[in-house]
Chain A
């Protein structure tokens, strides 16, 4: 396992261990990553500070998309191991889903405070 993969595994493990389904990204995080696996967004609800870049990575054999329900952002189809990133520059709650598997949904909450 490479160092970066180990780090990803740690992030996922931390997310899983949090008492709620959400994860709060700290201000010093360079960014946040959401692993897509087994037809699910690894962190279904993520809270980040303004200006955070969130990266989604698809580990499934199936393609997925990260598509805002309010048409704020729309990734292309992510094939296996492909990533897509979006920088959140306005506070708010961003709900998204996969247009191929619409039962896959997630949410990013962007806070204006540091």
Chain B
């Protein structure tokens, strides 16, 4: 790839990241609109009295056990994130954790994450793994703790308030030279899972590695995501929530809106902006500006979900 093309792409993605910061995004028929984050999610829903209006929170890339230069006290920022969730008003119906729960699968790390999120005062957390949660043992501990009774290797779906949620696993089949991957078994399951749904059902998909090609040179892509998205194309509203890249980016493709989330542990560089995608060191006083959580609100009768990212600052 020529340097010029690389820079153009990098500049474009940087711009995408920048425009998302501190704004409430909503999408209708593929058109994005935004307002300052202070406007609040409840207001965005525009029907605060409707019983089925609900919100949920996304937390990602907690990397329990991280002690690197990019954040010497990742427990403190994790706890700050939990406090942010605890303070959300209205209270989220549930939490989703989009993976890299632990940094290196050290003993006790999963327990710290689970206990920490329990103290957020939210009834239930739905988990998907990141590669840091499965690399040491092929996913044995994760699957035993978080995915018992599920089909296949931990993927899941559930319904809440008229929205169909799908949790996909794209980190279990990493091969040399490879990328995030869903695999044939999971893709077949997904096709069956959504086959009986009306096309007007809002869909929320969550998975660790982005389901769009953010930056393949760093492996920030799921190589068979197009097939999964093919099964979702007929739906009027599809929201895809990912982690993995420790920064906010959005993309709209037809009725599908993609969002990547911040980490609670450390930021990563914009695509191509550093020699590698490893943890990025920022001045201590700005660290909490680039870490955060996300609140997503659904209001019945509206095909768009309001996505609000909140930093830990």
Given known pairs A63-B104, A77-B105, the reply for A99 and B131 (CB within 8 Å) is yes
Given known pairs A39-B277, A102-B219, the reply for A61 and B69 (CB within 8 Å) is yes
CA distance A63 to B106 in the complex (A): 12
CB 8 Å contact bits of A24-65 with B (1 = contact, 0 = none): 000000000000001110000000000000000000111101
Chain B interface, DSSP helix/strand/loop, else mixed: loop
Q: Is B38 an interface residue (CB 8 A)?
A: no
CA distance A103 to B135 in the complex (A): 14
Cβ-defined contact, B278 with A61, below 8 A: yes
Closest CB-CB distance, B130 to chain A, in whole Å? 9
Q: Is B177 an interface residue (CB 8 A)?
A: yes
Q: Which of B69-111 contact A (CB under 8 A)?
A: 69-70, 103-105
Q: Which of B192-226 contact A (CB under 8 A)?
A: 217-219
CB 8 Å contact bits of B60-73 with A (1 = contact, 0 = none): 00000000111000
CA distance A49 to B5 in the complex (A): 43
Number of A-B residue pairs at CB separation under 8 A: 62
Closest CB-CB distance, B265 to chain A, in whole Å? 11
Q: Which of A67-90 contact B (CB under 8 A)?
A: 69, 76-77, 79-80
Taking CB atoms, residues of chain B closer than 8 Å to A39 are: 275-278
Count B-side interface residues using an 8 Å CB cutoff: 24
Q: Is B178 an interface residue (CB 8 A)?
A: yes
State which of A60, A62, A102 has its C-beta within 8 Å of the C-beta of B176: A102
Q: Is B175 an interface residue (CB 8 A)?
A: yes
What would be 30 A-B contacts, judged by CB atoms less than 8 Å apart? Answer: A39-B276, A39-B277, A39-B278, A40-B276, A60-B278, A61-B68, A61-B278, A61-B279, A62-B278, A63-B103, A63-B132, A65-B135, A65-B136, A77-B104, A77-B105, A77-B135, A79-B104, A96-B176, A97-B176, A99-B135, A99-B174, A100-B131, A100-B135, A101-B219, A102-B175, A102-B176, A102-B179, A103-B177, A103-B179, A103-B218
Q: Which 8 pairs between the two chains have the least Cβ-Cβ distance?
A: A61-B68, A97-B176, A39-B276, A38-B276, A61-B279, A99-B135, A102-B178, A38-B275
